[in-house]
Amino acid sequence: MEFADIENHDDFYSVDEGRVHVQDQRGYYIMYEKALQDLKDLEADLLLIASHFIEKDIKVRNSTKVNRTNSAKSRLLDCYMEAYQHVFDSKERAELSQIMYSVMKQRPRFDFEADYFLQTYRLESICLRMQASLVKGVMDTQMFSGVFIEDPAYLCEVALSLVERQEQTDQRKTKKERQALSVATIGSVMELVTLRHRMLEACWETEVLSNIYKQLAVEMGFDECHLFMRFLQFDYAVYKEGAGKPPPLFITAVQDDDSAVDRLVPKDMPLAIHELDETGIGRFSFRSREGVMNLLKSSGLENFKVIVMSQVNHKNGLMSAVQQSHVCGVHMKSSGDAFNMEGTLVFLVDPLEKAPFRDIMLNEFLEKKRTMAMILKNVEEADKLKRQLILNFNQRYSERILQYSLRGQIINDYNGILALLQQFPNIRETYFILGEPNEKKTEPDGVQSLQADPRCVLNVVWKILLL
């Protein structure tokens, strides 16, 4: 009973949908400590009963994997720990540590809308096993790959075998000399790994720049064939008259000439060395022990250096072409967001830049082959000559590309000056004159006006900047 003048010190009980609810004298819902203790005792009893039947199930199923989730979690942590031991970057180690900590704290998720938790528990265990399998597969690919040189164990074995062979052949030398040769041998292995890494980076950057180059070619109305050059090997070369003739300044000069550019679009992205020599210098393999051993020879290592140089120069050529098209295309686009006729003049065709230098290289090879026929029958001497000719080709091509790169940087600087002058119109109108496209040079703009003349002061030189 409840009375208005009497303070209640008892608890109130109510039953709602078969559940008993308790409220204290102030109306707050409460739970008795004894009820909580009974709940814990019930949990312990259920755990004992479940453990009993699990132990009984072991004899029936002949399996000792009782806690399947923790077993799968342990295998996953073993994979992450193996990866952690092969990581030396502090940031990556911290990220792996956080991942392992999260896995340790991870618990099975249950679907309370399901009839029973067994299916959910089984799916959680399967997820952990699949995650462990995925991590293990990634580790096998990165650390123990099928490619021979990507397996550190095999690579160490090759280095040790080379050192042992070197010590057996140089037994008459002093201990200090043998140690120096051993260090040089191991250094050649490390150099090969470094060169391969640079080669992979150059190939990846070349692919990215090639896609940008193709996009620019399509925007300017050209075909993708302007990116590729038909392979022409040393052994099948024909002497060409007028080799070394510089390419045209603008692509519009050869736009309608089908013979100027090969209409070749290969399915895959070839290496730059294959445009010069595909069967000799350009043949190498990292997937077998024999291929790596051939590259570790003095001639093989020198050949691979030439391959890397050719790929890097090809990448730089594409970079210069993309840079020039970008910096010049800023002011050469029409209102329809497409390059106009003047904008296409800045398009750089890479095969046209390489063709004159390749013709010079092939003519030099034919002359050497005519005068050194007996010597070039030796494969090593022939490779040595080809390697030197390819080096000369890369040097000439690099000097040519350097001019385009410098031109692009200068144009970019002028674009920055123009953008800055837009903010100061008074200074621009007073001290600067902006030139027009295809503007004819007058006498003050010529080279003669730049000569030092102490008898007169050329104010035009100091006050006018022709852009």
In the chain, where the domains are located: 12-61, 68-142, 167-419, 428-463
The token pair at 144 is: 């123990």
> Which of 75, 335, 293 has its CA nearest to residue 165?
293
Please report the pLDDT score of residue 237 as a whole number. Answer: 77
From CA 211, how far away is CA 217, in angstroms rounded? 10
pLDDT at 464: 43
Sign of CA dihedral 192, 198, 204, 210: negative
Burial category of 346 from C-beta neighbours within 10 Å (exposed 0-12, middle 13-18, buried 19 and up): buried
CA 198, CA 206: separation in Å to the nearest integer?
12
DSSP code string of 430-452: HH-BPPPTTPPP-GGGSSGGGS-
Return the pLDDT at 460: 45
d(CA 42, CA 36): 10
The reply to whether the predicted model has a pTM over 0.85 is no
Q: What is the pLDDT of residue 201?
A: 92
> What is the Cα–Cα distance from 314 to 273, expressed in whole angstroms?
9
Please tell me the predicted confidence (pLDDT) of residue 461.
41
What contacts 286, CB < 8 A, 6 or more positions away?
Answer: 147, 148, 149, 150, 196, 292, 295
Q: What is the mean pLDDT of each run of 10 residues along the chain (467 residues)?
A: 56 81 84 89 90 72 62 88 83 89 84 77 86 85 66 81 82 82 87 90 90 83 73 78 70 57 71 82 81 84 90 91 78 48 66 83 86 80 87 90 88 87 87 72 58 53 41
The two beta strands, 19-23 and 29-30, are antiparallel
- Gyration radius of the chain over CA positions: 38
Quote the crossing angle between the two packed helices 379-421 and 350-371, to the nearest 10°.
150
Q: Which residues are CB-neighbours of 3 under 8 A, at least 6 positions away? A: none
Buried b (16+ CB within 10 A) or exposed e, 120-149: ebeebbebbbebbeebbeeeeeeeeeeebb
Measured in whole angstroms, the distance separating CA 231 from the mean position of its chain's CA atoms is 26
Whether the CB-CB separation of 149 and 193 falls below 8 Å is answered with yes
Q: Which two tokens stand for residue 461?
A: 């030189």
Distance CA 128, CA 125 (A): 5
Q: What is the pLDDT of residue 198?
A: 92
Interhelix angle 152-169/175-220, rounded to 10 degrees, is 140
Beta-carbon count within 10 A of 177 CB: 11
Query: Length of the chain, please?
Result: 467
Cβ partners under 8 Å of residue 305, min gap 6: 195
Q: Give the span between the Cα atoms of 6 and 279, in whole angstroms.
A: 107
What residues does 22 pair with on adjacent strands? 13, 30
Hey, is 159 helix, strand or coil? Answer: helix
